[in-house]
Amino acid sequence: MKLVILAVLTLAALTSVGRAEDVDDIREAGKAETETFNARMYAGPPGEKAYACFVRRYDADHLARHPKQKVAAMKLLISAEVDKEDKELHHSFRLGFRYRHRSGDFDSSGSCNHAVFTRSGDEVRLGCGVDCDGGGIGVALSKDDKSAIVRLERVRVWQNNKPDDEAEHSLTAGADDKIFRLDRTDNSECASLVTDRKELAALRSK
């Protein structure tokens, strides 16, 4: 139940335009909706463990047309794994990116849950949150399932997998940093986001 509440609150924040009634647009996804979305996200039934990797490197032309965009490149790894205790499929995210005018690699991570946006044609999205009020992201899929649509208001990030006071809360939505369209690619492209050796081996085998 806590995960469902977290997902709803996270997604509400990601779509809020200052109206309390927007929260009523979101509901928990049903079993059939969840299974359909999972098959789309992981390009088939996820089974015991699955991954989906999405990447975007913005070229000079794009950045010139979006002068206020802070992000120069972004990677998103969505993971699914059946928990040994509750036997349920749990989802998580890892986000990696580089700033346009700041050196270094930055990342964030957390857990996810499904929710449905009724005013968007019953669109299913993942609501992903970072612990301790670290904000989060919303993840939807393009109609052809070839891209992930990432929405954010604020997400806590770290530099090089280490806590960084300056980096915390620095990735916030701006004029050109509210929605990112990332392209699906081979899972190996997201290997840099994984630090655990066993999980890295599992990722490379998928």
Choose between 17 and 142: higher pLDDT.
142
Q: Where are the domains of the chain?
A: 2-205
Tokens in use for 30?
């049903």
The pLDDT assigned to 139 comes to 95
The model's pLDDT over 74-124, given as tens digits with 9 standing for 90+, comes to 999 999 999 988 888 999 999 999 999 888 899 999 999 998 887 777 889
Cα–Cα distance between 183 and 186 in angstroms, integer?
10
Give the pTM.
Answer: 0.85
- Helix/strand/coil for 64: helix
Query: CA of 150: how far to CAs of 8, 88, 165, in Å?
Result: 16, 25, 24
